[in-house]
Amino acid sequence: MDFALSENQKALRKTILAFAAREIAPGAEKRDATGLWDQSLWAAIGKLGILGLPVPERYGGAGADAVTTLAALEALGEGGLDTGLCVSVGAHVVLVQIPVLLYGSEAQREKYLPGLCCGDYIGAFALTEPEAGSDAAGIQTSVRREGDRYVLNGAKTFITNAPVADVLIAFATADRSRGADGISAFLVEAGTPGYSPGRKLAKMGNHASPTGEPVFDDCRLPLTALLGEEGKGFSEVAATALLWERAVFFGGLLGVLRGTLQKVLAYTRQRRQFNRPLADFQLVRGKLADMAVRIQAARMLAYHAAWCLDNAQAADLHASIAKLYTTEAAVEVLRDALEIYGGYGYMKEYPVERIYREMAVAPVGGGTSSIHRLIIANRLLKGIGLET
Ligand SMILES: Cc1cc2nc3c(=O)[nH]c(=O)nc-3n(C[C@H](O)[C@H](O)[C@H](O)COP(=O)(O)OP(=O)(O)OC[C@H]3O[C@@H](n4cnc5c(N)ncnc54)[C@H](O)[C@@H]3O)c2cc1C
């Protein structure tokens, strides 16, 4: 395994870092304060090619592999220091484009991917429901076939990008008694009669990323809206999206952690107490070291999981390990950052206060830490090893 970035990957990283520092970082506080969606920023991110990273060039994407996609999302987070924006970009790229690319018909790929890649369309992935979060296969949104239509009824919750989405991947069950095997995935366009983006949810943080509760009320879809095969919505479409989410999506958050560490280092050099910079105190240095170790360990786990995806290695155990470690490390890194900033860390004039709130969701979204501990233990008990 060689995780050294190629010259092309380094150049991409440099370009994205500069873009994010110039275009994203300056507005992060305002987006947090207002919660307004910045469509022109989304378009600029699309123009740079970030919204179509893993999609082949023939559909308007960059044709990047999982490792390159991870590195690019990491640079976006590092330069931009806006976790919410990373969440929206990650959902769009990883949870929407990957399933359309891997399970979409040629007509679906041609219809949706170019618009998703350039940023004309915003994508959302609608699996979670009020009564089905960790137990995602327990969804109640129903689908029935009526002639040449699928008819969806039900409601989702906590759906990233839903309030602004042009196209959603929505999951529905034809028969709840069949559990995961009853679930199919559908591509739903905004404006379809019977579909409503629902209310926008108020959150603790990540205000740059709108979260909503889409509703399907006799939402009639053409048969061509089916994504993948009937009954394979959970076992294939959702499973693949969630695998990529665990391995790649959190790259944006890793980047934010790297950028935060740089801010903290600068602060410890500049802030003086007892006539010395904070950086002189050994206990502060200990925290800096802990932050760096956690970030670097998380990065290695994430790059390894992405490498598994690129090299046709079983990735699900490694992706869960990476997701679990990265998101718990994120909370610990921000806790240390806030403590090093002291009272100023709690004030809105420094970014740590905002990023602390943003990172709080990391161990919940994409499967809670407990669920990933269960997945990891289950895999190990089934004899799946850590060799790759
Ligand atoms: C900001 C945000 C954005 C999100 N974006 C999306 C999105 O774009 N698309 C989407 O589909 N979903 C999205 N989600 C949903 C997210 O995936 C779920 O919140 C998550 O899976 C947990 O489900 P839940 O919130 O219903 O918690 P619950 O499932 O109710 O869990 C509550 C607690 O019980 C624990 N628990 C549950 N079952 C077990 C068990 N078997 N053993 C041990 N402990 C257990 C959990 O670990 C947790 O601590 C988002 C969530 C948030 C907060």
Q: Which atom of ligand 1 is nearest to the CA of 201?
A: 1
The residue type of 256 is V
Q: Is 88 in the pocket of ligand 1 (CB under 6 A)?
A: no
Ligand 1 pocket test, pick from 98, 204, 361, 368 with the greatest ligand atom count within 8 Å of Cβ, gives 368
Q: Is 371 in the pocket of ligand 1 (CB under 6 A)?
A: yes
Phi and psi at residue 350, in whole multiples of 5°?
A: -115, 145
Q: Is 368 in the pocket of ligand 1 (CB under 6 A)?
A: yes
Q: Which atom of ligand 1 is nearest to the CA of 361?
A: 53
Note whether 161 and 209 are within 8 A (CB). Answer: yes
Q: Which atom of ligand 1 is nearest to the CA of 203?
A: 1
Q: What mean pLDDT is predicted for residues 86-113?
A: 98
Which residues are within 8 A (CB) of 30 and not within 5 positions of it... i.e. 6 or more apart? none
Closest residue by Cα to residue 107 from 244, 231, 226: 226
Closest residue by Cα to residue 258 from 20, 1, 12: 20
Protein residue with least CA distance to atom 34, ligand 1: 134
pLDDT band at 2 (very low <50, low <70, confident <90, very high): confident
Give dist(CA 112, CA 61) in Å, integer. 12
Q: Cα(135) to centroid of ligand 1, in Å? A: 8
Whether residue 385 has pLDDT greater than 90: no
Phi and psi at residue 199, in whole multiples of 5°?
A: -80, 155
Whether residue 120 has pLDDT greater than 90: yes
- pLDDT value of residue 1: 77
Gyration radius (Cα) of the chain, Å = 21
Q: Which atom of ligand 1 is nearest to the CA of 371?
A: 47
Q: Is 362 in the pocket of ligand 1 (CB under 6 A)?
A: no
- pLDDT value of residue 180: 98
Helix, strand, coil percent values for the chain (each to nearest 5): 60, 15, 25
Give dist(CA 231, CA 228) in Å, integer. 9
What are the tokens at 274? Answer: 């007892």
Domains and CATH numbers, the chain: 7-122 (1.10.540.10), 125-230 (2.40.110.10), 236-381 (1.20.140.10)
pLDDT band at 384 (very low <50, low <70, confident <90, very high): confident
Q: Is 365 in the pocket of ligand 1 (CB under 6 A)?
A: yes
Give dist(CA 15, CA 7) in Å, integer. 12
Q: What is the pLDDT of residues 32-46, one digit of tens each?
A: 999 999 999 999 999
Q: Cα(47) to centroid of ligand 1, in Å? A: 33
Q: What mean pLDDT is predicted for residues 99-118?
A: 98
Q: What is the pLDDT of residues 134-147, one digit of tens each?
A: 999 999 999 999 99
- pLDDT value of residue 237: 98
pLDDT band at 157 (very low <50, low <70, confident <90, very high): very high
Protein residue with least CA distance to atom 31, ligand 1: 134
Whether residue 220 has pLDDT greater than 80: yes
Which residues are within 8 A (CB) of 194 and not within 5 positions of it... i.e. 6 or more apart? 151, 152, 216, 217, 218, 219, 220
What Cα–Cα distance (Å) separates residue 229 from each residue in 143, 195, 263? 14, 22, 48
Give dist(CA 213, CA 139) in Å, integer. 14
- Please give the model's pTM, rounded to 2 decimal places: 0.97
What are the tokens at 381? Answer: 């008990």
Q: Cα(94) to centroid of ligand 1, in Å? A: 18
Protein residue with least CA distance to atom 41, ligand 1: 371
Q: Which residues of 127-150 are buried (b: 16+ CB within 10 A; e: fewer)?
A: bbbeebbeebbebebbbeeeeeeb
Q: Cα(297) to centroid of ligand 1, in Å? A: 25
Q: What mean pLDDT is predicted for residues 216-238?
A: 98
Phi and psi at residue 127, in whole multiples of 5°?
A: -110, -55
Q: Cα(257) to centroid of ligand 1, in Å? A: 23
Q: Cα(134) to centroid of ligand 1, in Å? A: 5
- pLDDT value of residue 387: 78
Longest dimension (CA), the chain: 79
